[in-house]
Amino acid sequence: DTGVSQDPRHKITKRGQNVTFRCDPISEHNRLYWYRQTLGQGPEFLTYFQNEAQLEKSRLLSDRFSAERPKGSFSTLEIQRTEQGDSAMYLCASSFPTSGVTDTQYFGPGTRLTVL
């Protein structure tokens, strides 16, 4: 079990540029989540995949944000035309549904985005 991995760990970009982050979940996990965490706050839900299907998106996920999970394995989160307000830690989590019991989400180390 190698855990959830995210790449890159840090990204510095200029306002207006596009950025893409990758998440590799734990191999047998079919549920994948993206969250955003700003300084001094708890993570906020962005979107959720079951296998390759994106089943829910938060209102926080503006039109500039898009997420994919093309083969039901890794996922990418793209932010177009970045703004300074996008600066945050982007967290990925994965889980495997256990019948009758709420599954536990395992979090990756996050990608810290700084928009200059």
Interacting residues toward another protein by CB under 8 A: 31, 33, 35, 40-45, 48, 50, 55-56, 91, 93, 95, 97, 101-110
| Amino acid at site 21 | F
- Please calculate the CA angle 46-5-115 and round it to the nearest 5 degrees: 55
CB of residue 4 to another protein, shortest distance in Å: 8
CB of residue 102 to another protein, shortest distance in Å: 4
Question: Given its phi and psi angles, is residue 2 left (phi above 0), alpha (psi -120 to 50 degrees) or beta?
Answer: alpha
Query: Smaller CB distance to another protein: residue 77 or 82?
Result: 77
| Amino acid at site 44 | E
Query: Smaller CB distance to another protein: residue 36 or 82?
Result: 36
Three-state DSSP at 38 gives coil
CB of residue 18 to another protein, shortest distance in Å: 25
